[in-house]
Amino acid sequence: MKDRSSRRRARRIAIGAAVAVALAAMNGPALYRFGSEKYHEYTINKPEYKAANGHWKILDFPEEFRQNTIHAALLRTGKVLMVAGSGNNQENFDNQQFDTRLWDPETNKVKKIDTPTDLFCSGHTQLGNGNLLIAGGTKRYEKLQGDVTKAGGLMVVHNENPDKPITIPAGTTFTGKTNGKTFVSKDPVVVERAKKVFDEETGRFLRNDPGLGRIYVEAAKSGAEHETGTQDNYVVEGLKGTDARNTYGMAEKLALDKKDFQGIKDSFEFDPIAEKYIQVDPMKEARWYPTLTTLTDGKVLSLSGLDEIGQLVPGKNEVYDPKTKGWEYTKGVRQFPTYPAVSLMQNGKLFYSGSNAGYGPADVGRDPGVWDLASNKFSKVPGLSDPKLMETSQTVLLPPAQDEKYMVIGGGGVGESKESSKKTRLVGLLADEPRFEDGPELEKGTRYPQASVLPDDTVLISGGSEDYRGRGASDILQARIYDAKDNSMERVADPLVGRNYHSGSVLLPDGRLMFFGSDPLYDDKANTKPGTFEQRVEIYTPPYLFRDERPSLSGGPKTIKLGGSATFTTRDSSTVKSARLMRPSASTHVTDIDQKSIALDVKKGEGSITVTVPKNRNLVQSGWYMLFVTDDRGTPSKAQWVRVP
């Protein structure tokens, strides 16, 4: 690997010197720019340059199929599901225009998919049956201060009746007992019955703890005169008798300040064979920006997100059962910022790297650590550099997954901070006392970097921006290949398109990488022109695909059990060096919990190889995987799809 890195470095130096000589001979700035662009185009398309650095190409999607892609996932059919929902476009949301595209990398054909609701900023993960679980999305867009015309906020409804829950319909009026101001609920809410509390020793009844329901309310009329500044109790209009005596509202400040995005409870499975969304039971909590993480038993944990009133879900985590298609709360209660990078470990516990995509208090749930969901015990992992610059960082499980070593890349300050980090941080969770240490630095502080695991056990790190959402034209047109074996990082070909907020990457079955999205706040360095969403899709072809040929792989079973073996045909068995099971990506908001590369034992035969899958079901979760073999030059085969039941 060091030889390959040295060759790449030498070629880059030689090419750079040639460019410098050629440009020095040119006269005048205009001629210089023209010559520079032409020579650069010529250089990056030379075979020897591609073989050392790879190559980027922009796909030409017909205009009717372009969209603001926010999420993308590789399906077991080899096609890529590209989800926009409303695409961070208020007009699309108001018009109920929700988009999804299905792209076939083999044919480059694109298909429109009916999208049932606004899946913008949902969570997603691969299920054991090959479907993609999608949960949450957008109920209402944010309103900035100055655009809000009606005072509003959180109303907590109390039910002190231990005998029955109560339903408060949308449109219910609440009137303050002290301030006399009137507010109207925007959605229905079911308030659970009060809980009777008894003394544990004597059994004596102590009190009723009221059931609580949270809803968003707005003033009935516009204007600052309807704002409130202090807590008040509110009479719930329309209730009678016992219900009226036992039910009341409580609210703090109800004002004209900024209103955050609000989430939904809806959940769907996308069926890659039928190529359609199938609605399943809704979550217990509404979530916008949630993370979905597959657990040991194949159930899926849903974490964090903004709820239906635009507040961070208060530590209520829940689990989806693919068998029942329903959700249940977990006993483990812990609050994280939105889109937290939480991954299943080989011992069944959960690792939180500290990476997240944004919303949440600066002092809540930011520390990295190991979480035992069953006991709710959380053990912090020390040593993280730039700990206050973890928002919009990317976390990747380095290959092979058995080493359980993670890399955390870049990141920035909380919210719209200008600060960003050059750091990469490494942590090995198999150590007796895991601790972060720094890896190779990036050239620039980087928010929103994309990290993609490749079949040859390297990681491509690309894109991002120095400032929040690419402010100040700060997109970083650079890419690097990181080699975990020797902890080295080398520059490769530069991407053609800047990628910041709302961007992602997906490894394709042929070993190439797909890059999508980018949602800059502004389109100019002076930050005066509103940003334009990047709808172009770009493909990176790594250096390993510019060699004469790649190893073949065919035949074999479609199913391999945990601990089981399977034999595949290859004409290159003598040169095959390794085999990897790679879980397909489900990428969004610098979060891709699914991607991982698992090393398989390999036994060579005459014209065949036999691979053996590890027994640990926390390491090899049930589902569909891409099986790659790689030869002694680091060139991977095309993938074979196999299922681990």
pLDDT attached to residue 20 = 43
pLDDT attached to residue 33 = 57
DSSP helix/strand/coil, 336: coil
Q: Cα–Cα distance between 215 and 210 in angstroms, integer?
A: 16
State pTM to two decimals.
0.91
- 54-142+260-546: what fold? Methylamine Dehydrogenase; Chain H (2.130.10)
* Domain boundaries of the chain, sorted by first residue: 1-53, 54-142+260-546, 152-251, 565-644
Task: Report, as an integer, the average pLDDT of 448-467.
Answer: 98
Residue 236 above 60 pLDDT? yes
Share of the chain above pLDDT 90, in %: 90
Exposed, middle or buried by CB within 10 Å (0-12, 13-18, 19+), for 116? middle
Convert the pLDDT of each residue in 26-79 to its tens digit: 455 555 556 777 878 888 999 999 999 999 999 988 999 999 999 999 999 999
Q: Cα–Cα distance between 547 and 47 in angstroms, integer?
A: 9
* Contact present, 504 and 72 (Cβ < 8 Å): yes
b/e code 12-48 from CB counts within 10 Å (16+ = b): beebeeebeeeeeeeeeeeeeeebeeeeeeebbeeee
List phi, psi (to 5°) of 282: -70, 160
Question: Where is pLDDT greater, at 318 or 19?
Answer: 318
- Give the CA distances from residue 305 to residues 58, 264, 335, in Å, rounded to whole numbers and listed in that order: 33, 10, 10
Give the chain's mean pLDDT: 94
Identify which of 588, 107, 111 has the alpha carbon closest to the alpha carbon of residue 99: 111
Of 277-281, 308-312, 335-339, where does mean pLDDT reach its minimum?
A: 308-312
* Contact present, 644 and 625 (Cβ < 8 Å): yes
- Give the CA distances from residue 421 to residues 355, 445, 460, in Å, rounded to whole numbers and listed in that order: 12, 4, 18
Residue 348 above 60 pLDDT? yes
Question: Where is pLDDT greater, at 573 or 34?
Answer: 573
Residue 23 above 50 pLDDT? no
Place of tokens 């990047």: 534
pLDDT attached to residue 145 = 85
Residue 542 above 50 pLDDT? yes
Please determine, looking at this structure, whether the domain spanning 152-251 carries the CATH number 3.40.50: no
Task: Report, as an integer, the average pLDDT of 419-435.
Answer: 98
Convert the pLDDT of each residue in 113-138 to its tens digit: 999 999 999 999 999 999 999 999 99
List phi, psi (to 5°) of 19: -60, -45
pLDDT band at 15 (very low <50, low <70, confident <90, very high): very low
Convert the pLDDT of each residue in 394-418 to its tens digit: 999 999 999 999 999 999 999 999 9
Copy the structure tokens of residue 424: 């990469």
- The partner residues of 406 in beta bridges, in order of sequence, read 397, 427
- From the DSSP assignment, how many helices (H) and strands (E) are in the chain? 5, 47
- Host H or E run for residue 5: helix 2-24
pLDDT attached to residue 163 = 94
Residue 14 above 80 pLDDT? no
DSSP helix/strand/coil, 279: strand
* Contact present, 334 and 317 (Cβ < 8 Å): yes
pLDDT attached to residue 95 = 97
* Contact present, 116 and 99 (Cβ < 8 Å): no
Convert the pLDDT of each residue in 464-519 to its tens digit: 999 999 999 999 999 999 999 999 999 999 999 999 999 999 999 999 999 999 99
- 565-644: what fold? Immunoglobulin-like (2.60.40)
pLDDT band at 248 (very low <50, low <70, confident <90, very high): very high
pLDDT attached to residue 68 = 98
Convert the pLDDT of each residue in 297-331 to its tens digit: 999 999 999 999 999 998 899 999 999 999 999 99
